[in-house]
């Protein structure tokens, strides 16, 4: 018998946003005041804002929370709602450090502007022994990395390490709307 224990679920919703929604979010993000962010190395900036200010401005609160509810149900956790969201704008030759969001049940990222040169989104195996054993999750690696596309939504536990694994972003502009749920 094989039993899958301690799974870590991420959810990917391809083409989550329409072209019109992407354009509206992009225009809204570009108007916001951004500052340097310690998680971005190189040219990049971020803004943090409570969802009442941010998501209401882009009219996506219900659409995102509906997907969060589905994700919570699939993970058998109490339904959560977005508590805070922010945007990150990375420029060419920057990278997003591997990091986590602490004891947050659900975190997410909606990719607003990417291209074929954009850095991937990587998740680190939460098994602390993956570095020293031959049992690994895929291709003998402690990471799983995904190509990101404009309009895609990713959701995952906030405690899961994620970032670009030091891969430099080669696109002129990589824009992400990120959120935490409690």
Q: Is the pLDDT of residue 133 over 60?
A: no
What's the confidence (pLDDT) of residue 51?
61
146 and 120 Cβ atoms separated by less than 8 Å: yes
Per residue in 96-113, pLDDT (tens digit) is 999 999 999 999 999 999
Q: Is the pLDDT of residue 63 over 60?
A: yes
Q: How many CB atoms lie within 10 A of CB 78?
A: 8
The CATH code of domain 11-181 reads 2.60.120.620
Mean per-residue pLDDT over the chain, rounded: 88
Strand partners, 45: 89
Q: Is the pLDDT of residue 5 over 80?
A: no
- Report the predicted TM-score, pTM, of the whole model to 2 decimal places: 0.90
What's the confidence (pLDDT) of residue 59?
83
State the pLDDT confidence band at 13, using cuts at 50, 70 and 90.
very high
46-60 burial code (b ≥16 CB/10 A, e <16): bbeeebeebbebbeb
Looking at per-residue pLDDT, the higher value among 79 and 6 belongs to 79
């Amino acid at each position: 018998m094989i039993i899958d224990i301690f799974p870590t679920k991420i959810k990917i919703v391809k083409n989550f946003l329409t072209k019109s929604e992407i354009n509206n979010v992009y225009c809204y993000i570009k108007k916001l005041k951004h500052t340097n962010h310690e998680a971005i190395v190189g040219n990049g900036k971020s803004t943090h804002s409570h969802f009442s200010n941010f998501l209401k401005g882009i009219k996506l609160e219900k659409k995102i929370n509906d997907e969060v509810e589905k994700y919570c149900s699939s993970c058998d956790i109490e339904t959560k709602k977005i508590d805070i969201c922010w945007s990150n704008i990375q420029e060419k030759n920057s990278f997003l450090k591997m990091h986590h969001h602490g004891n947050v049940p659900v975190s997410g990222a909606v990719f607003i502007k990417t291209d074929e040169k954009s850095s991937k989104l990587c998740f680190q195996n939460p098994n602390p022994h993956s570095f020293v054993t031959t049992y690994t999750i895929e291709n003998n690696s402690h990471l799983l990395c995904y190509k990101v596309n404009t309009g895609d939504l990713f959701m995952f536990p906030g405690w899961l390490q994620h970032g670009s694994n030091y891969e430099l972003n080669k696109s002129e502009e990589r824009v992400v709307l990120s959120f935490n749920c409690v």
